[in-house]
Amino acid sequence: MSSEQEHAPRGESAGYFTEQYGEGPKKVLDRFRLYEFAEPAVDIEAKVFESLDLTSAESWVDVGTSDGHFLHMLLSCGHRGELIGIEPNTAQFNYAPRWEPINPDPVRAALERALGHEHGLALADEFLAAKPDTDKIKLLKGTANVIPAEDDYADVLSVMFMLYHLPESKQSQAFAEFKRVLKPNGRFVLATSGTDNKVRHRMLEQQIANNFDQKTTAPKLMNAGFNTERAEAELPKYFSHVYAYKQDSKMVIDDDDRVDAYLDSLRSLRDQFDPVPDEFTFEDALVDVVLPQIEHDMGKYGRFIDLIRRSIFICSDSQVLLHEPSDFVPVTAQKHPL
């Protein structure tokens, strides 16, 4: 085993991607569904769209696009620029989402600012009324270190909850590739999570591991490779202007459907325990360890609470125009020349 494999955070091995993504993104979606239970609610994708002050004509590259859902959401908002999704596991493209309209307010506001009140709103309504042509999204095989795009191509390059899957030894190379593809005044968007994100979830993972007769190691911290705290330290080394938004919400579990979703999120990690427990043993652990704690809190407080700590970073080598009022604050540090 190479030293890189030895020190790789969860999510970097070929086996992980085959298991988590090879037959569709269900396991990942089981985990991401928990963010729908946030109070206050935050739509991370909409936060990106509305904060960037888009014209809808930007060329956009999404690295680690999975099934392309982020670009499909952008397209459903009426985006007209070229959209490219980069993904190493092209089997994910078979699960590209069907078109569904999302909150139209950000695109209406962006077009109104860019084109004037009357023309902008009329154009936004025209876009939102028409089903977008999803063939306009190019889904290509590639990685963060090898992006199949020309130099100075992208107005925006996004990396949404992906960079922590990349070994730290390859991250500097990835940033060089990001900057090669970005236009000189292009904007880099990164989404990740903090060290205390879903802290009770992680505590339960450890308690599940301790419940097995055989000595078992709980899943490693998934975002350790590039979490919020690391992003704050690293991004200013590569970009002159860095702005951060931090989501500070509670994950509220207060009915049977949400309890089932929380349990499904834990089930999605069964293969990340070492050794991997069989399904029956794992279900027994959920009943013995997890359910009593959830039922206790719901009985006493009416809800079971976990923490949500996620972040978005918008970066550029030129001044970033953010739609005001903005929830983003500047991050500063010594820049590192590539």
Task: For 277-325, write each residue's pLDDT tens digit.
Answer: 999 999 999 999 999 999 999 999 999 999 999 999 999 999 887 876 6
Its pTM surpasses 0.85: no
d(CA 326, CA 311): 14
Task: Indicate whether 241 pLDDT > 80.
Answer: yes
Which of the four pLDDT bands, split at 50, 70 and 90, describes residue 44?
confident
Q: CA torsion 193→194→199→205, rounded to 10°?
A: 60
Whether the CB-CB separation of 176 and 336 falls below 8 Å is answered with: no
Q: Phi/psi of residue 271, each to 5°?
A: -70, -5
- Only one residue has tokens 């911290």, namely 221
Bridge pairing between strands 38-39 and 154-160: unpaired
Computed over every residue of the chain, the mean pLDDT equals: 83
**Looking at residues 149-157, what average pLDDT do you find?**
97
Q: Is the pLDDT of residue 114 over 90?
A: no
Most distant CA atoms of the chain, gap in Å: 68
**pLDDT reading at 214 higher than 80:** yes
For residue 133, pLDDT over 60 is answered with no
φ and ψ of 186, to 5 deg: -70, 165
**Which residues, including other chains, have CB under 8 Å from residue 78's CB and lie 6 or more apart?**
56, 107, 111, 123, 124, 127, 128, 132
Consecutive H or E run containing 73: helix 69-76
Q: Which of 62-71, 107-116, 246-255, 263-272 has the lowest mean pLDDT?
A: 107-116
Q: Which domains does the chain have, with CATH numbers?
A: 3-195+221-256+305-330 (3.40.50.150)
